Structure 1
Amino acid sequence: MQQIDYIINEANASVSATVNGQHYPLPALWLRERCQDSENLDKTTKQRFFDPHQLDENVSLVKVEKKHNTLANLTFSDGYSGEYDLNEFAADFDVWDGAPNDIPWKSNVDKSLFHIDLATLKSEAGLIKGIEIFLTYGVLIVDNVPTESDAVLEVANLFGHVRETNFGKYFEVFTRPNSNDLAYRSVPLGPHTDNPYRNPMPGIQLLHCLENQTTEGLSTLVDSLSVLEQLKKEDPDGFALLCKVPVRYRYYDNDVDLIERRTMIESDPSGRITGIAYSPRLDYLPLLQDQEMVIFHRARKRLGQLLCSPEYEWRFRLEPGQLQMFHNTRVLHGRTGFDPSEGRRHLQGAYIDIDAPKGRYNALKRKQGSIRTNDEFEIADTKATEEMRG
């Protein structure tokens, strides 16, 4: 957690902050926008009653009165005067969003870390635990889910709202000859991201096993964060191209034709890698200069090899009554081929948005009054990472 100290200077009519030893003067316009009185800010929603975009860009502080260590009354040149609790600014200096840190994993990870029982999830404490597992590893295996149609929606609604697509609120995964997606056949499916042709892509996918009478048809999961670490070490130039060159993805059938362009490797506004858009069945090599195309394809090829490597890919049998929930762009999923004549293999799937579990998690932790600090997560995460990486 960051150390923040505020300096309230009455003589110079100024306010500043020192964050981990670095000094930040707080401009008048920045402060004016963050007024905290009930006439300008709704205390419940933290939403403003005024339009800050219309403030005078030349507004200045004309008077500063210190009332307590972090409490001050500020008066501005536009006539506004109000009381400020400077501790309310802490979030402006910390990019941490309250969630546990990612822990990349390989196929030798202790899989018991990923499991939780549905009955446990139905309590607040259990739901917090389940979301922590998911936010940390990008995957959660829920046990003892009733093998009933629509049960996937019950689990999905614990974490967020179901996102409906052209496949419906949920979709059935079983063998259908001449289906509109290879997922509905018995052929092998390599690791992939679902729906890279959509904007936005589904953030989270849930797959619930109702029946599995086949000896093959194993589920596969692979953490792209671990794979991308390795790719960047082996081929930094190719990695950089995959981060910046958009790729075209397309899906079409009789009722819809979806096209989207996005980079294969995705990052957040701070530059942190968050996952990939990877689906060899749906993407197209971008038009580049000869040498760049060679570098791009070489990196794409190696990425595919790493994703399928036993070092990274976890293969397992999803049993009836089990549900896998995974971060669609971080943890890629797939399936080995199977013989449909052996018996039925029937799954139901659904999507929810990626921000839903995190929002629910933060609300539950706030309700409990037990939000852990980033330092506590970092200590726990460091220990877990050391154990998993040997």
Structure 2
Amino acid sequence: MLRSATHDASVVTVEFDTGTKARFHAIWLRDNALDPETRAPGNGQRLITIGDIPSDISVSAAEISNGDLTVTFQPEGKTVTFPADWLAEHGYDRDQNRPMGRTAPDITTWGRGIDAPSADWDEVHANPSAKRGWLAAVAEYGFAKLTGGPTEPESLLKVADLFGYVRETNYGPYFEVRTEVNPTNLAYTGLGLQAHTDNPYRDPVPTLQILYCLENSAEGGDSIVVDGFRAAEKLHEQNPEGFALLAGYPARFEYKGSDGICLRSRRPMIELSPDGELVGIRFNNRSSAPFVDVPFDQMEAYYAAYRQLGEIIDDPAMGVSFKLEPGESFIVDNTRVLHARLGYSGAGSRWLQGCYADKDGLLSTLAAMEMSQPEAAE
């Protein structure tokens, strides 16, 4: 609820019943008006352009009506009501000087010792609350397991169907990770893989990866996940200048291992939003191309920071490990969480299938579920 409102031609100042005050510009209020001539009923899309708003827009009246704000704009003579809770949610009159390298408030970073978020296949397919919890874990922690699933090939596509769509690449709608011990072809080896994000040479990168286990009778081969955001936080704590170098200059990544394919990207290893929020990690030694965008006098320091980030990522205290059983899968936010595999040997086989999807579908599904069942989301 609002307690009071004052205004001049260009600014409206409101006081909430909590005693908090907030200011809103006339142009901002008019652009975000909630009336049906400004916003389409139903989908909420804006029906006007910035050019439709008079350049001399001003406020001629602002008053409280049933706890909400009613504003009249000139020269249009248009009156619009703004709910108090909507104004509180969208206020921007606050200190915007936030620390560089911070994570979003709904993200929790982690290291070894965290219990891997997990859900049951049948539960997430039958119970909306279980599904919402699984999606929320991916959003908060960047990864989650799914257990008790079928062992038929292509079952991973049903995982993507829970929230969105498979993102097809040059590898197809999905790819095989089928490696047999004592192979006849060295392509099918049990070598370990350093923690990495997938496909950093794409622009944009696939934002989610699903790995689904169909067979796993080999010794070893545990999966490991590492929180790249936590690694970046540690680098920022230990070496803020090095953090700034990895965030401030683009790395280069490349893949040209197949005929007719040459993928390249130019993006930083640590990606920040313009206001300093940590939004992405790209780390993959196998796909790194020569770095040519770092000034000569900064290159050695850049490589020192790169080495330090790698050492943090390789620290066993950073990783959460688990061995997938047939019918189990895990999903990772590929813009944040790195994944690795321990080497394995002995008798047996290991067969996984993998695919990519996009995080916007998962976040959209989660947000829609929370809006439709807000009491269950609390």
Q: Judge same fold: TM > 0.5, yes or no.
A: yes
Q: Which residue of 2 aligns with 1:32?
A: 30
Indicate which of 236, 259, 264 corresponds to 1:259. 264
Cα shift at 1:328? 0.8
Please state if 1:370 is matched with 2:368: no
Alignment CA distance shift 1:57-1:185 (3 Å): farther
Return the alpha-carbon distance in structure 1 between the equivalents of residues 266 and 15 of structure 2: 42
Q: Which residue of 2 aligns with 1:120?
A: 123
Indicate which of 224, 227, 230 corresponds to 1:226. 230
Q: Which residue of 2 aligns with 1:378?
A: none
Cα shift at 1:302? 1.4
* Contact 1:61–1:75 under 8 Å retained in 2: yes
Alignment CA distance shift 1:81-1:72 (3 Å): closer
* Contact 1:128–1:361 under 8 Å retained in 2: yes
Alignment of 1:1-390 (within 5 A): 5=2, 7-9=4-6, 15-17=12-14, 23-93=21-91, 101-111=106-116, 114-122=117-125, 123-175=127-179, 185-252=189-256, 253-287=258-292, 288-339=294-345, 342-370=347-375
Cα shift at 1:78? 2.9
* Contact 2:272–2:279 under 8 Å retained in 1: yes
| RMSD over equivalenced CA pairs, Å | 2.9
User: What's the CA shift string for 1:270-321, capped at 9, x where partnerless?
Assistant: 4222341000011134233444111111111111111111111223211111
Return the alpha-carbon distance in structure 2 between the equivalents of residues 34 and 178 of structure 1: 64
Cα shift at 1:14? 5.7
Greater Cα offset, 269-278 or 326-335:
269-278
* Contact 1:247–1:286 under 8 Å retained in 2: yes
Alignment CA distance shift 1:286-1:23 (3 Å): farther
Alignment CA distance shift 1:69-1:251 (3 Å): same
Return the alpha-carbon distance in structure 1 between the equivalents of residues 76 and 324 of structure 2: 64
* Contact 1:10–1:66 under 8 Å retained in 2: no
Cα shift at 1:128? 1.0
* Contact 1:8–1:64 under 8 Å retained in 2: yes
Identify unmatched segments of 5+ residues in structure 1.
374-390
TM-score, structure 1 length as denominator? 0.84
User: What's the CA shift string for 1:105-143, capped at 9, x where partnerless?
Assistant: 1112233xx111011111211111111221221110100
Cα shift at 1:362? 1.3
* Contact 1:74–1:84 under 8 Å retained in 2: no
Q: Which residue of 1 aligns with 2:100?
A: none
Cα shift at 1:245? 0.6
SS in 2 for 1:342: coil
SS in 1 for 2:279: strand
Aligned length: 362
Structure 1 letter corresponding to 2:352: L
Identify unmatched segments of 5+ residues in structure 2.
97-103
Cα shift at 1:268? 3.2
Return the alpha-carbon distance in structure 2 between the equivalents of residues 21 and 271 of structure 1: 30
Q: Which residue of 1 aligns with 2:101?
A: none
SS in 1 for 2:285: coil
* Contact 1:217–1:335 under 8 Å retained in 2: yes
Return the alpha-carbon distance in structure 2 between the equivalents of residues 289 and 48 of structure 1: 44
Q: Which residue of 2 aligns with 1:388?
A: none
* Contact 1:191–1:334 under 8 Å retained in 2: yes
Return the alpha-carbon distance in structure 1 between the equivalents of residues 218 and 82 of structure 2: 65
Return the alpha-carbon distance in structure 2 between the equivalents of residues 178 and 18 of structure 1: 74
Return the alpha-carbon distance in structure 2 between the equivalents of residues 305 and 208 of structure 1: 28
Alignment CA distance shift 1:35-1:186 (3 Å): same
Return the alpha-carbon distance in structure 2 between the equivalents of residues 6 and 286 of structure 1: 57
Cα shift at 1:236? 1.4
* Contact 1:212–1:346 under 8 Å retained in 2: yes
Alignment CA distance shift 1:6-1:206 (3 Å): farther
Q: Which residue of 2 aligns with 1:384?
A: none
Return the alpha-carbon distance in structure 1 between the equivalents of residues 199 and 10 of structure 2: 54
Greater Cα offset, 309-318 or 144-153:
309-318
